[in-house]
Amino acid sequence: ILNVEQSPQSLHVQEGDSTNFTCSFPSSNFYALHWYRWETAKSPEALFVMTLNGDEKKKGRISATLNTKEGYSYLYIKGSQPEDSATYLCASLNSGYSTLTFGKGTMLLVSP
Amino acid sequence: DSGVTQTPKHLITATGQRVTLRCSPRSGDLSVYWYQQSLDQGLQFLIQYYNGEERAKGNILERFSAQQFPDLHSELNLSSLELGDSALYFCASSVEYRGGKLFFGSGTQLSVL
């Protein structure tokens, strides 16, 4: 079983704070790393798909980096807003495994 | 709207019963995935179909089965239901065979009483 770990499990910040969370995955036979945002009462929505070591992706105030050699990815949110409140999921795909393995997510709450 | 349609949104049934969950993928997507989300668990992969063929299998119970039809819609059949099968079941679709961005449906909340 592929082990994908996310930390912290939950996070509570104030509006305007910048924050970041971590996704750890096995570095061996790496193929792709996905980030999804899952808002309450909705379905997960893709943020980024990253494949190359050193990859950096950005979407508005949200960005992500990827280190495939050491097996981690960071997700950054600059100037958090209440609408950023959601669970952020990462998922890793490694060769030898048939499909994505999801972490349990980081639950972010942004207070006004 | 992801373009993936799942029905029904909610399902309440009794132990021992059988239910069918339905999923229509985004137009043009050939891959359909089924996931189970239960309390304290992450998204658990159940099964994937690609263009009508079973491509990958996760920790899917023998009481569960799925298929993808020629029009690419998929059904997940859950039988001999137990209390522990209560969960949120997601369908997702992707254009790629492997590793592509997933587009999720709104899910079916199954309650087994």
- Residue in chain B lying closest to A51 (CA): B99
- Determine, for residues A102 and B57 on separate chains, whether the beta-carbon distance falls below 8 Å: no
Q: What are phi and psi of A51, to 5 degrees?
A: -130, -25
Q: What is the pLDDT of residue A72?
A: 96
User: Which letter does DSSP use for residue A88 in this model?
Assistant: E
The alpha carbon of residue A64 is apart from the nearest alpha carbon of chain B, in Å, by: 16
| Residue in chain A nearest B57 by alpha carbon | A98
Q: Which of residues 44-73 of A touch B (CB under 8 A)?
A: 44-46, 49
Q: Which pLDDT tens digit goes with each residue over B22-50? A: 999 999 999 999 999 987 788 999 999 99
User: Who among B42, B100, B107 is closest to A104 (CB)?
Assistant: B42
Q: How far apart are CA A35 and CA B78, in angstroms?
A: 29
* pLDDT confidence of residue B104: 97
Ranges of residues in chain B whose predicted pLDDT is under 50 = none
